């Protein structure tokens, strides 16, 4: 009987950690999406794009624990492209990278969203 209660406790702890992780990833992706959408036009966005890259570097270490490496690498590449485009003033590349960053963030958010249908 003791083993049963230990197993139930471990399972409960695991579910709590999964829910906390999903909430954390959701909050980070929401904040980054808001930052991306608030970026001004290309010529004025260099500092804010660099701040976004710095934030990504900080948050990436935690997100790597639960998000697929391919998704992380793709999003990192797009954020870097966004910064470079802002630095050189390439409006077309900047808007394309912004759109791909938003798409990548929404993909990560959808993969980390907790749904009971994923269990079945």
How do residues 15-41 score in pLDDT, each as one tens digit? Answer: 898 888 888 888 888 988 998 888 877
Q: What is the pLDDT of residue 42?
A: 67
Q: Which among 24, 20, 48, 47 has a CA at the least distance from the CA of 34?
A: 48
Token readout for 64 is: 């790597």
Contacts of 100 (CB under 8 A, 6+ apart): 78, 81
3-state secondary structure of 82: helix
- Buried-state track 1-27, b at ≥16 Cβ within 10 A, e below 16: eeeeeeeeeeeeeeeeeeeebbebbee
Instruction: Please provide the CATH number assigned to the domain covering 2-119.
Output: 1.20.120
SS3 81: helix
**Boundaries of every domain in the chain:** 2-119
Q: Does residue 120 carry a pLDDT above 60? A: no
Residue 37: what pLDDT?
85
pLDDT, one tens digit per residue, over 50-97 is 888 888 888 888 888 888 888 888 989 998 988 888 888 888 888 888
CB distance 92 to 13 below 8 Å:
no
Question: Residue 1 above 60 pLDDT?
Answer: yes
pTM: 0.78
């Amino acid at each position: 009987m003791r083993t049963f209660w230990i197993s139930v406790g471990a399972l409960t702890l695991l579910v709590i950690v999964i829910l906390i992780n999903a909430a954390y990833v959701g909050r980070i992706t929401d904040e980054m999406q808001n930052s991306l959408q608030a970026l001004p036009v290309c010529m004025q966005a260099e500092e804010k794009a660099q701040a976004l890259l710095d934030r990504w570097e900080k948050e990436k270490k935690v997100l790597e624990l639960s998000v697929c490496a391919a998704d992380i690498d793709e999003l990192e590449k797009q954020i870097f492209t966004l910064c470079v485009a802002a630095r050189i003033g390439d409006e077309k590349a900047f808007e394309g990278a912004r759109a791909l960053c938003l798409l990548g963030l929404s993909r990560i958010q959808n993969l980390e969203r907790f749904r009971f249908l994923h269990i079945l």
